[in-house]
Structure 1
């Protein structure tokens, strides 16, 4: 039995992993897969891959591309979610901000440096033709930290996955004033180089196993009810999210990687373009 450590955000996207683990699907393949929830998100998972604290991460595409270019000894082995992530742009419910234009030159709450919440703040600013050099950040670690920062006015707005943040909007804690979808597939699976080199066949088996789960995930009986209950969501929000979300069983294409890197380079988030072989490995 091969033990592998995997990390991901505690969000609805990752329920297929938990179901496959609970069903013993990995054990049947002689894989002891140990899952760690990482509410801090992509920046923290990049750090965990670098330190060997995790072997595998289910991680935002733009965040891991940036970190591999910066020296993270890992590779993207597959796209996990093909569709864009819809980032909601949130302000405190009682704030005076009404439109996206009101947020120009205002401070952004981010989970940590290098996180999706920071990178997408640059993408959004660029979309709005704001000066990205003027962006200011407040590191808040988690969504709870963002609630505190916006409530205490140490930050002005916060970008996070729209549906996971919806309960806070419903409760009157946040108000969502716009959406900003990623211009690329949102989640990929990344593996440390050392693990890939020693266990390519095991990683291929792991991918095959999770792909079987994601392939039939939407057809699971009452999956909308299961998701709504587990993630404190309204059933209609989960149904909308399911209709907008497509899991992938395919490798990352070179064209997609080029699109991601070109935009990150244009935004000065990376200072060089990595080669396909430096960033992606098909197993």
Structure 2
């Protein structure tokens, strides 16, 4: 039996992995797939891929592209969630800042450099016409670190997925001053090259199982109620999230799409220059 470890954020996007693991669908195909939560997000997963701590990552598109360009020996196999991710822009409950415009010279909390919270802060700055070179960052590791930094005044604003942070807005921990959607499909499946070379058929099997689950995910009976309870969110918020979220249909990621994303990332100063998109992906 092949041992594989997959990592992802402990958020509602990844509930299909929980379902397929609970049903032992991988075990039935002679694959011992284990899940690892990464509350630190994309930066932590990129590091884990590099250090062979995980084999597969469900990771933010912009983060893994930047890290592969910087030498991560992994490849993007397909999109996982093809709709944009809605990043909420949050300040502390007692913050003096009232709007996005107020944040131009403020300190932004990020989970780590190269993470989604870091790269999307750059995108947000570009969208608002700010000087990206003047952005000030405070590394906080994860969502709890962001809560602490904004509450203690160590940072001024923090960007994290809109619906995951909605309970913190509801309970008065954060105020949301705006949103910033990703200008590309948000999550992709990235796999270490060594695994792809040695076990391509098993990887195809894993992808077939998860893609079959996501294709039917919204039609699962009472899935909105299940997600609401598990992730401690308001039912109406989960229903809205489900209505705007689209998973991949199993098609591989195209070079044209990756070139388009890289062009935007260069424009946003998220990467300095693009590479041949064929070096970012592997078609199985």
Category of TM-score, reference length = shorter chain:
over 0.9
CA contact (8 A) 1:93 1:173 kept: yes
TM-score by length of structure 1 reads 0.98
CA contact (8 A) 2:91 2:157 kept: yes
- 1:42-61, aligned counterparts within 5 Å? 42-61=42-61
Specify the alignment match of 1:261 in structure 2: 262
Q: Does 1:279 align with 2:280?
A: yes
Alpha-carbon shift at residue 209 of structure 1 (Å): 0.7
Alpha-carbon shift at residue 269 of structure 1 (Å): 2.6
- 1:1-283, aligned counterparts within 5 Å? 1-248=1-248, 249-283=250-284
Alpha-carbon shift at residue 274 of structure 1 (Å): 1.6
CA contact (8 A) 1:45 1:59 kept: yes
CA contact (8 A) 2:122 2:269 kept: no
**Secondary structure of 2:232's match?**
coil
Instruction: Determine the C-alpha separation between the residues in 1 that align with 2:272 and 2:73.
Output: 18
Instruction: Determine the C-alpha separation between the residues in 2 that align with 1:271 and 1:150.
Output: 30
Instruction: Determine the C-alpha separation between the residues in 1 that align with 2:62 and 2:270.
Output: 10
Alpha-carbon shift at residue 258 of structure 1 (Å): 1.3
Instruction: Determine the C-alpha separation between the residues in 1 that align with 2:47 and 2:21.
Output: 24
**Secondary structure of 1:207's match?**
helix
* Greater mean alpha carbon deviation, residues 246-255 or residues 102-111: 246-255
Alpha-carbon shift at residue 252 of structure 1 (Å): 1.5
Alpha-carbon shift at residue 15 of structure 1 (Å): 0.2
Name the Cα RMSD after superposition: 0.8
- Structure 2 gap segments, 5+ residues each: none
Instruction: Determine the C-alpha separation between the residues in 1 that align with 2:76 and 2:149.
Output: 33
**Secondary structure of 1:137's match?**
strand
**Secondary structure of 1:109's match?**
strand
Instruction: Determine the C-alpha separation between the residues in 2 that align with 1:84 and 1:254.
Output: 19
The CA deviation string for residues 91-140 of structure 1, in whole angstroms up to 9 with x for no partner, is 00111111110000110000001000000000000000111111010000
**Secondary structure of 1:259's match?**
helix
CA contact (8 A) 1:59 1:188 kept: yes
**Secondary structure of 2:141's match?**
coil
TM-score by length of structure 2 reads 0.98
CA contact (8 A) 2:123 2:270 kept: no
**Secondary structure of 1:239's match?**
helix
CA contact (8 A) 1:69 1:272 kept: no
CA contact (8 A) 2:255 2:278 kept: no
Instruction: Determine the C-alpha separation between the residues in 2 that align with 1:220 and 1:138.
Output: 41
The CA deviation string for residues 192-211 of structure 1, in whole angstroms up to 9 with x for no partner, is 00000001111111101101
List 4+ stretches of structure 1 deviating above 6 A: none
CA contact (8 A) 2:83 2:247 kept: yes
Alpha-carbon shift at residue 254 of structure 1 (Å): 1.9
